[in-house]
Amino acid sequence: MPTQTTVRLAVAGACLALATAAGVLLVRSGPDDESTITPIADIQGEGAATELAGRTVTTRGVVTAVYPTGGLGGYYLQAAGSGGDHDETPGASDAVFVASRGTADEVAPGDHVQVTGTVDEHHSLTQLSVDGTGLEVLAETAEAPEPTPVDFPADEGTREAHEGMLVDVSATAWAVTDHHDLNAYGSLGLAPGPDPLPNPTSVADPGGAARAVRAENAGKLVVLDDGAATNFLRAPGNRGTLPYLDGDAPVRVGAPVTFTRPVVLDYRHEAWTFQPTGPLTDGTAEQVQPVTIGDSRPAEATPQDVGGDLTLASFNVLNYFTTLGEEFAGCRAYEDREGNPVTTNGCAPRGAFDRPNLERQQAKIVRAINGLDASVVALEEIENGVHFGTDRDEALAALVRALNEDAGTGRWAYVESPDRRPPVQEEDVIRTAFIYQPAEVRPAGASVILTGAEAFRNAREPLAQLFRAVEDGAGVEGTEFLAIANHFKSKGSGSGPGNEDTGDGQGAANADRVAQAEALVDFAQDLGASRGAERIFLVGDFNAYEREDPISVLEEAGYASQGARSAGEYSYAFDGSVGSLDGIFASPAAAEAVTGVDVWMINANEPVALEYSRYNYTAERLYAADQWRSSDHNPILVGIDLGL
C-alpha cells in the first residue's frame, strides 16, 4: 500500500543514519531524537494493511483507551492534536493499537507516551507489539486528540482511514440488530437507522439479489463491544455480569441506541467494532459506558387485537421435553456457573436436564400460551413420546395440564394423535401438535398425519385437524376450517442433489423443503376435498424465509401469507438480521375470513440470556417466569371471522 511521505526530520544532532525502507524514510539517532519517530499515519498507511509489517519502529501519541484487563491486553495511541473536524492525514489513520500486556497497566488515558515495537497486521488490525521495555511515558504535555465525527453507514475506505481513532457517531441513529453474542462475549450488533437489518431472502429473491442484500448488510453492521474478550460462557468463577444488560433493562433486537460518549473504531473478529475507552463492567460503567439503549418491549404483555370470532396461532416452543436428561445414563449437560446441569448436551432428549429446569422452561411457555389466548394453537418442537417408551401425546398432555393449572380452569385440551401414524423409525423425536380451547372450538373428526410421503422422511410430518366453532356449547355447522401444522427440514443440514448450501441465501436442504412444500400442497388439497373444507390454513415453522423457493411453492398454489400483512414484524432473528421462518398461509376462502394478524414479538427480539437454558450462567439472575424469551421463535396469530 502507498505510505505517507511526511516523515519528520530533525537535522540537528550527531551521527545521523539514513535508511529507506518500503517508501518510508527512517532517520535514526539517539534515543531521544525526534528524527527516530515514525508518525502513526505512516505506520497505518492508506490501505487495508500496513506495509511496515515486521519492522521495528518508534512512535509517539496520546493514550485514548486502555484495556489492562479483560483479554485485549493493550491500549490505543492517537497522534497529538489529531481528530476533530480537520484531517491532516486523509486516507490514513492517526491511531494505532499497542499490543502490550506488560505495559497496559502503566498508562492511562491522556498520557503522552513513546513506544518502540514491531509492526504487524493482527487479524486485519494494524498494531504495534511492545514488550515491557518499549514504553516511555513522556514528561512534556501534548495536545489531546479530538473525537472525529463519522457518519454511518461508512464505506470501507472511510473506516480504514479512522481505524483505532476516537470517533463521534452520535449523529447517527442506531438500532440493535443482533444480540446473540451478548450472552457469550458481551457484544451487540448495531445497524445505522431505526430498524434491524433484514434477512436477505426475506426481502430479495435467492441468488444475486439476496447476495447484494447480504453485502449491503455487511457494510452497515458494526459491533458494539465491551472493551474485553471475556467469554462469559466459559470464564471461571462467577462469570461476572453481562454488559449492556440487566434484569430490569432488556436489550431487544430493534431497540434504539444513542451514543453518549466517543468510542474507538476497532477491527476484531472480522468485524468493525466500537470499543468503549476501557473494559465495561458494573464498576466502570459511569466512566466508560458509551450508550443508552431504549426499552422497546411492548407496553402491553398481550398480542394485538386481531378481531374475528376465533383465533389461530403457531408457536415453536423450543424443544419442550418431559423426558429428562437425568433419566439417561451418560447424558451430558450444559452447566451453569456453579456446575449444575441445565439442558441436555447431545442426548436423545433435547430439552431440560432435570425437573427444576423443566419447571423453569414450562413456566415461561405456559405464560406465553395463556397470554396468546388463541382458540387453536399449532405447536412445533414438542417431544414425541414414542421414542422414549411413553405415549406419543405424553409431553403434550403434560403441557395442557400445566396450562390449565395456571389458568385455574379446564381452559385447554389437546388434539389426540390418530391411530394411523408413520412407522416409529420414520418419526423425529420432536413433533407438531394442536391444542385448543373447548369453549371456542371442537375437533370435527380425528386428526390426520401425512404418512408415506418420501419428502418427509427427514422432517416432521404435517398434522391436520378440522375444527368447528362452538356457540352456546354446541358446534355450528358451516364454521369449519382445516388447520395443518408443519415443521419443515432445517437449514443447518441436508444431503443429496440440491441440498448443498449454494450460497444463494437459502441454506442447506432447500431441495428437501421444496419437496415438502409440494407434498403439503397435495395433502391439503386431498384432505380439504375429502372433508369438504374450503378454509384451509397451513401453519407452522417452515424453515424458509419469505422469498425462498418453498414459500413460492405455497403461494403459487394459492395460499396467501398472512404474516406478510403484519408490516415491520418478524418471527426470527439470526446472524444479525431478521425475517420470518414461521407463518400462516391461507387458502382463498380462508384469507377472506382473516380479520387481522399479529406476530407477537416476545422471543426472537429478547436476549438468549433470558432463556431458561441460560439460568444462573452469570452473576446476575436474569431468569423470570414470564413469557419473555420463552422460545427463540415469535408466535404468529390471526383472527378469523366465521359469521357467528
CA 62, CA 79: separation in Å to the nearest integer? 6
Sign of CA dihedral 369, 372, 373, 375: negative
The C-alpha cell 416409529 sits at: 424
pLDDT at 25: 29
The C-alpha cell 474485553 sits at: 228
CA 424, CA 635: separation in Å to the nearest integer? 29
Task: Specify the amino acid at residue 168.
Answer: D
Q: What is the DSSP string of 400-436?
A: HHHHHHHHTS---EEPPPPS----GGGS-SEEEEEEE
Cβ atoms of residues 115 and 130 within 8 Å:
yes
User: What is the separation of C-alpha 226 from the centre of its chain, rounded to a whole number of angstroms?
Assistant: 17
Q: 607 by DSSP, 3-state: which?
A: coil
The CA dihedral of 344, 349, 355, 357, to the nearest 10 degrees, is 40
CA 196, CA 215: separation in Å to the nearest integer? 15
pLDDT at 34: 64
- CB proximity list for 175: less than 8 A, separation 6 or greater: 190, 191, 193, 194, 195, 196, 254, 255, 256, 257
pLDDT at 524: 98
Residue 361, H or E segment? helix 355-372
| Nearest-10 crossing angle of helices 510-531, 549-556 | 20
CA 443, CA 489: separation in Å to the nearest integer? 27
Tally of helices (H runs) and strands (E runs) in the chain: 11, 34
pLDDT at 249: 87
User: What is the separation of C-alpha 233 from the centre of its chain, rounded to a whole number of angstroms?
Assistant: 16
Residue 275, H or E segment? strand 271-275
CA 74, CA 97: separation in Å to the nearest integer? 7
Q: Which three cell numbers stand for residue 306?
A: 386481531
Q: How many CB atoms lie within 10 A of CB 68?
A: 18
pLDDT at 550: 98
Cβ atoms of residues 70 and 229 within 8 Å:
yes
Cβ atoms of residues 251 and 628 within 8 Å:
no
**With 0-12 CB in 10 A as exposed, 13-18 as middle and 19+ as buried, what is 624?**
middle
User: What is the separation of C-alpha 174 from the centre of its chain, rounded to a whole number of angstroms?
Assistant: 16
Cβ atoms of residues 63 and 113 within 8 Å:
yes
Sign of CA dihedral 601, 607, 613, 615: negative
Instruction: Using DSSP bridges, classify how beta strands 310-320 and 636-640 pair: parallel, antiparallel or unpaired.
Output: antiparallel
Residue segments in the chain with a per-residue pLDDT below the cut of 50: 1-31
Residue 156, H or E segment? helix 156-161
CA 65, CA 68: separation in Å to the nearest integer? 10
* Strand intervals (E) in 45-104: 56-67, 74-78, 95-99
User: What is the separation of C-alpha 362 from the centre of its chain, rounded to a whole number of angstroms?
Assistant: 23
| Nearest-10 crossing angle of helices 394-407, 355-372 | 60
CA 436, CA 453: separation in Å to the nearest integer? 27
* pTM score of the predicted model: 0.92
Buried b (16+ CB within 10 A) or exposed e, 25-59: bbbebeeebebbbbbbbbbbbbeeebbbeebebbb
| Residue 153: cis peptide before it, omega within 30 degrees of 0 | yes
- CB proximity list for 522: less than 8 A, separation 6 or greater: none
